[in-house]
């Protein structure tokens, strides 16, 4: 009878456990429930469960687990893991410092800041845009390359890498062009033209798609890049054609470089220059129309002030250059036309007008007569 009563009591307890107690017990059960409670206990257990829950907690624990969860967290941890994951994240993190080791694969988008250590091997294809800072040691190879048609399968177009076939190189007027446009138009016309021109950006300021030549048959005031150079220039393109406007102007129009290149000179010695175009007038100007040959020798031709310019280039006519009134010294000099000594002043006799810069002056009339007109007996009384 006692055994039967105990059995009934056990079955009733099991039934109540399946339905759930109306309130949590003070003492935890020896077996965990199949359904977790809606409210977690205020005191978590000291020993974690053998099986992790399917639903992660809203608040992460202070101590990370030894095994990572199947679902990554929305927020990355403050401390990176010692072992990287096998599957990279879909969105890269923004690292404050670059890694010590380069990646095996280059990124599709270049970085805004170049690396401090350049690669040992140069790239197979040069970039269209030059670097912001020139290298300290320029390359030894230099030349002007014309555009030639390249019918390579899947990559046809016009190139100017200097690798044209020999039969093209020996007959440049037939095969080669000074602009990519002329080459594409000649060999890849029609529907292939746009694809040919699209090999490089159309703006030749960013990519060298045309060469410059001196316009001797036209206005002869500068260099052109229209691809209409004479055949003799194309045949000797290394001499007559240039990669840039400045290079062409410096080579063929150095006497008028700034007008040819459309650039503004940097004046290091002032902006006053002597004006010798006025038909004998003694004038210094600062109107910004300095001839190029003077800019080429600024140290001699240019001055920082009007006075310095006049003193250097018109010292014999200083007053006219400065726009001032000449004042004599009241000393004496020889008037060879009247064969007498006159005074360096303006007005009536004995003034003979303001002496020229080359006149030799004397303190007295007697000294002047004795030194210059000693054979004239009455020189002192004239």
**DSSP symbols for 295-362:** HTTHHHH-BSSHHHHHHHH-GGGHHHHHT------S-EEEETTTTEEEESBSSSTTB-BSPPTTPPPB
Of 42-51, 159-168, 277-286, 309-318, give the lowest mean pLDDT range. 42-51
User: Half-sphere exposure of residue 170, counting CA atoms within 13 Å on the CB side?
Assistant: 3
Closest of 256, 263, 264, 178 to residue 221, by C-alpha = 256
Tokens standing for 116? Answer: 């401090």
**CB environment 283-303: b (16+ within 10 A), e (fewer):** bbbbeeebeeeebeebeebbb
The pLDDT tens digits of the residues spanning 250-288 come to 999 988 888 898 887 788 888 899 998 877 788 999 988
pLDDT score of 86: 63
312 and 321 Cβ atoms separated by less than 8 Å:
no
372 and 331 Cβ atoms separated by less than 8 Å:
no
pLDDT classification of 45: cutoffs 50, 70, 90? low
The pLDDT tens digits of the residues spanning 200-222 come to 544 444 456 788 999 999 889 89
pLDDT at 129 over 70: no
Closest of 312, 314, 311, 346 to residue 329, by C-alpha = 346
- Among the ranges 114-123, 307-316, 321-330, 344-353, which has the highest mean pLDDT value? 307-316
pLDDT score of 362: 94
241 and 229 Cβ atoms separated by less than 8 Å:
yes
φ, ψ for residue 180 (rounded to 5)? -65, -35
Neighbours of 107 (CB within 10 A): 8
Tokens standing for 30? Answer: 């020896």
Instruction: For the chain, give the percent of residues with pLDDT over 90.
Output: 18
- The answer to whether the pTM exceeds 0.95 is no
Closest of 263, 268, 347, 259 to residue 303, by C-alpha = 268
Is the omega angle on the peptide bond into residue 306 within 30 degrees of 0, that is, cis? no
DSSP 8-state secondary structure symbol assigned to residue 242:
B
Of 80-94, 140-154, 160-174, 298-312, give the lowest mean pLDDT range. 80-94
Neighbours of 4 (CB within 10 A): 8
pLDDT at 194 over 70: yes
CA separation, residue 343 to residues 317, 331, 360, 373 (Å): 19, 6, 12, 15
Bridge partners (DSSP) of residue 273 are 285
pLDDT score of 4: 47
What lies within 8 Å, CB to CB, of 374 at 6+ separation is none
Tokens standing for 114? Answer: 């170049």
Q: What is the bridge-based pairing of β-strands 332-335 and 340-343?
A: antiparallel
Helix (H, G, I), strand (E, B) or coil at 134: coil
pLDDT score of 343: 92
pLDDT score of 112: 54
What lies within 8 Å, CB to CB, of 93 at 6+ separation is 76
- Which position has the token pair 């002496």? 355
pLDDT score of 259: 84
Tokens standing for 132? Answer: 């912001």
Tokens standing for 276? Answer: 């010798």
pLDDT at 180 over 70: yes
pLDDT at 341 over 90: yes
Mean pLDDT, rounded, of the chain: 75
pLDDT score of 331: 93
pLDDT classification of 305: cutoffs 50, 70, 90? very high
Q: How far apart are CA 110 and CA 103, in angstroms?
A: 13
């Amino acid at each position: 009878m006692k055994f039967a009563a105990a059995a009934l009591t056990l079955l009733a307890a099991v039934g109540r456990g399946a339905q759930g107690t109306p309130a949590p017990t003070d003492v935890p059960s020896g077996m965990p429930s199949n359904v977790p409670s809606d409210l977690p206990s205020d005191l978590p257990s000291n020993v974690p469960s053998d099986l992790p829950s399917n639903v992660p907690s809203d608040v992460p624990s202070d101590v990370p687990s030894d095994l990572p969860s199947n679902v990554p967290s929305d927020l990355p941890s403050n401390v990176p893991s010692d072992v990287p994951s096998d599957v990279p994240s879909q969105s890269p993190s923004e690292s404050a410092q670059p890694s010590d080791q380069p990646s095996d694969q280059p990124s599709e988008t270049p970085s805004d800041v170049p690396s401090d250590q350049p690669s040992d091997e140069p790239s197979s294809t040069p970039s269209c845009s030059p670097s912001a800072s020139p290298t300290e040691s320029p390359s030894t190879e230099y030349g002007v390359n014309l555009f030639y048609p390249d019918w390579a399968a899947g990559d046809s177009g016009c190139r100017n890498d200097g690798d044209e076939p020999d039969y093209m190189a020996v007959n440049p007027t037939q095969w080669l062009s000074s602009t990519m446009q002329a080459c594409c138009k000649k060999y890849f016309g029609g529907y292939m033209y746009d694809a040919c021109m699209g090999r490089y950006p159309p703006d030749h300021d960013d990519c060298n798609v045309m060469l410059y030549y001196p316009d001797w048959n036209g206005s002869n005031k500068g260099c052109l890049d229209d691809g209409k150079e004479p055949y003799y220039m194309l045949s000797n393109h290394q001499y007559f054609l240039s990669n840039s406007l400045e290079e062409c102007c410096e080579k063929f129009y150095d006497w008028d470089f700034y007008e040819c290149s459309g650039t503004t000179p940097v004046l290091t010695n002032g902006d006053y220059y002597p004006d010798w175009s006025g038909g004998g007038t003694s004038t210094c100007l600062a109107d910004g129309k300095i001839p190029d040959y003077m800019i080429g020798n600024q140290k001699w031709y240019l001055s920082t002030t009007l006075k310095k310019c006049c003193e250097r280039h018109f010292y014999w006519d200083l007053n006219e250059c400065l726009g001032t009134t000449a004042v004599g010294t009241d000393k004496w000099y020889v008037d060879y036309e009247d064969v007498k000594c006159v005074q360096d002043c303006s007005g009536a006799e004995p003034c003979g007008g303001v002496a020229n810069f080359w006149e030799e002056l004397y303190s007295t009339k007697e000294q002047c007569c004795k030194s210059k007109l000693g054979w004239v007996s009455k020189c002192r009384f004239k």
